[in-house]
């Protein structure tokens, strides 16, 4: 059996930056993180051992003044900064610069059109409702933006009013284009001349560019173990792309889960002693975790 780890998998730039900020700030004293620093329970546990305390919004409202709170790569709505300021909390802002730029664009669009009273505009975010990044994006519009996850939900929009479409950074490019095409066709169906539809492909290429490489890796292996956190939407998207390329792809979150797949791997090995097992992961999957899965496989 040959086991290999995908060299293109692992933390994206934004997550690496946030984790480096946490490790460096932890050396200066106690540090809180608002929400899991990354959607990977194993990495959260590693940083908690170093002293990082994960808190929620209720905790934020009761922290003593001068506490230091790190904002993760997903970003936050303006209300979080306001609460911190009111309570005298020091913010260490590790929002990914790509997300920050997207927040700024959505806020600028909202500010530009909020007073278009004759035809009130609709700002649409293609994203997962309730996802931390999406909450931060909605906050830029005073929570007026509508979140759409798929073309099935387009009945929620009013096609007699302008639409400005943006995307959560980790959504799929194909899904975004399907949405654009369907919105355009729905506008045409109204027969209203000069309809206004602006769309902005704000999907992060750090994720989108991985798909092809990940699928090539999946095809080059007989069995693929995709390592990701169950709370990570990026992990779900990339896992589905992997599974599409190689149906023998399995989602696991920890090395312990290798045990559940042993019989499948043994069956494959009995017909092909040179079975190739590939290990890959999401932008929120640490390299050390993929290495631990590899070690567990080699030991089994
Ligand atoms: S996926 Fe892209 S936008 Fe999101 S944190 Fe990573 S680098 Fe930033």
Confidence category of residue 192, pLDDT binned at 50, 70, 90:
confident
| pLDDT, position 264 | 81
**Coil, helix or strand at residue 168:** coil
Task: Write the pLDDT tens digit of every residue in 262-272.
Answer: 888 877 877 88
For the cut 80, the answer to whether the pLDDT of residue 242 exceeds it is yes
Rg (CA), the chain: 22
| pLDDT, position 300 | 72
| pLDDT, position 115 | 86
Task: Write the pLDDT tens digit of every residue in 104-158.
Answer: 999 999 999 988 877 788 999 999 999 999 999 999 999 999 999 999 999 999 9
Q: Break the chain into its structural domains and give their ranges.
A: 2-9+207-299, 13-96, 98-168+170-203
Ligand 1 atom nearest to 169, measured from its CA: 3
| pLDDT, position 138 | 98
**Enzyme catalytic residues:** 133
Closest of 27, 36, 30, 107 to residue 71, by C-alpha: 36
pTM for the structure as a whole: 0.88
For the cut 80, the answer to whether the pLDDT of residue 182 exceeds it is yes
Confidence category of residue 278, pLDDT binned at 50, 70, 90:
very high
Options 1.10.10.10, 3.75.10.20, 3.40.50.1860, 3.40.1010.20; CATH for 98-168+170-203 is: 3.40.1010.20
| pLDDT, position 73 | 96
Confidence category of residue 255, pLDDT binned at 50, 70, 90:
very high
φ, ψ of residue 86 to 5 degrees: the values are -60, -35
Confidence category of residue 246, pLDDT binned at 50, 70, 90:
very high
| pLDDT, position 118 | 74
Common-topology check for domains 2-9+207-299 and 98-168+170-203: yes
Confidence category of residue 191, pLDDT binned at 50, 70, 90:
confident
- What's the number of CA atoms in the CB half-sphere (13 Å) around residue 255? 16
Confidence category of residue 244, pLDDT binned at 50, 70, 90:
very high
Options 3.20.20.140, 3.40.1010.20, 3.40.250.10, 3.40.50.720; CATH for 2-9+207-299 is: 3.40.1010.20
| pLDDT, position 233 | 79
Pocket perturbation via mutation, ligand 1, pick of 100, 283, 284 by most ligand atoms within 8 A of CB:
283
Long-range contact list for 54-62, CB < 8 A, 24+ apart? 57/83, 59/32, 60/34, 60/84, 60/87, 60/89, 61/87
**Counting beta carbons within 10 angstroms of the beta carbon of residue 271, is it exposed (0 to 12), middle (13 to 18) or buried (19 or more)?**
exposed
Which tokens belong to 157?
A: 């929009």
Mean pLDDT to the nearest integer, 196-205 = 94
Question: Between residues 101 and 114, which one has the greater pLDDT?
Answer: 101
**Cα-to-centroid distance, 15 and ligand 1 (Å):** 7
| pLDDT, position 265 | 82
Percent of the chain residues past pLDDT 90, beyond the cut: 79
φ, ψ of residue 209 to 5 degrees: the values are -70, -15
**Residue 16, ligand 1, Cβ within 6 A:** no
Q: Are 37 and 92 in contact (CB under 8 A)?
A: no
HEC string of 86-126 equals: HHCCEEEECCCHHHHHHHHHHHHHHHHHCCCCCCCCEEEEE
**Residue 275, ligand 1, Cβ within 6 A:** no
**Domain covering 13-96 in this structure, CATH number:** 3.40.50.11270
Question: Between residues 86 and 267, which one has the greater pLDDT?
Answer: 86
**Residue 99, ligand 1, Cβ within 6 A:** yes
Ligand 1 atom nearest to 234, measured from its CA: 1
The residues, ordered by sequence, that sit 6+ positions from 100 with a Cβ below 8 Å of its Cβ are 75
- Give the lowest-confidence range in 40-44, 66-70, 200-204, 265-269: 265-269
Ligand 1 atom nearest to 15, measured from its CA: 5
**Coil, helix or strand at residue 3:** strand
DSSP symbols for 176-193: HHHHHHHHHHHHHHHT-T
**Cα-to-centroid distance, 17 and ligand 1 (Å):** 10
Confidence category of residue 298, pLDDT binned at 50, 70, 90:
confident
**Residue 132, ligand 1, Cβ within 6 A:** no
DSSP symbols for 229-252: -TT-HHHHHHHHHHHHH-SSEEEE
For the cut 80, the answer to whether the pLDDT of residue 173 exceeds it is yes
| pLDDT, position 271 | 81
**Coil, helix or strand at residue 286:** coil
Mean of per-residue pLDDT scores for the chain: 93
**Counting beta carbons within 10 angstroms of the beta carbon of residue 254, is it exposed (0 to 12), middle (13 to 18) or buried (19 or more)?**
middle
């Amino acid at each position: 059996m040959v086991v290999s780890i995908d060299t293109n998998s692992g933390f994206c730039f934004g997550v690496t930056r946030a984790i480096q900020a946490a490790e460096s700030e932890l050396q200066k004293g106690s540090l809180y993180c608002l929400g899991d620093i990354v959607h990977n329970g194993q990495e959260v546990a590693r940083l908690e051992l170093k002293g990082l305390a994960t808190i929620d919004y209720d905790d934020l409202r009761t922290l003593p003044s001068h506490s230091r709170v790190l904002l993760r790569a997903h970003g936050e709505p303006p209300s979080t900064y306001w609460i911190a300021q009111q309570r005298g909390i020091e913010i260490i802002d590790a929002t990914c610069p790509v997300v920050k730029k997207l927040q700024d664009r959505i806020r600028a669009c909202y500010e530009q059109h909020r007073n278009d009273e004759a035809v009130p505009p609709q700002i649409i975010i293609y994203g997962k409702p309730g996802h931390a990044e999406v909450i931060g994006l909605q906050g830029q519009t005073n929570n007026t933006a509508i979140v759409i996850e798929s073309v099935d939900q387009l009945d929620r929009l009013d096609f007699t009013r302008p639409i400005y479409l943006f995307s959560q950074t980790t959504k799929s490019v194909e899904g975004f284009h399907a949405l654009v095409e369907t919105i355009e066709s729905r506008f045409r169906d109204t027969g209203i001349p000069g309809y206004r539809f602006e769309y902005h492909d704000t999907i992060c290429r750090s994720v989108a560019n991985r798909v092809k490489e990940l699928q090539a890796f999946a095809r080059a292996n007989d069995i693929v173990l995709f390592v990701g956190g169950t709370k990570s939407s990026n992990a779900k998207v990339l896992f589905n792309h992997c599974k599409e390329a190689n149906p023998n792809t399995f989602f696991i979150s920890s090395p312990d889960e290798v045990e559940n797949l042993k019989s499948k791997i043994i069956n494959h090995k009995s017909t092909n002693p040179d079975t190739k097992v590939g290990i890959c992961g999401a932008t929120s999957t640490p390299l050390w975790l993929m290495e631990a899965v590899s070690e567990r496989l080699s030991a089994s």
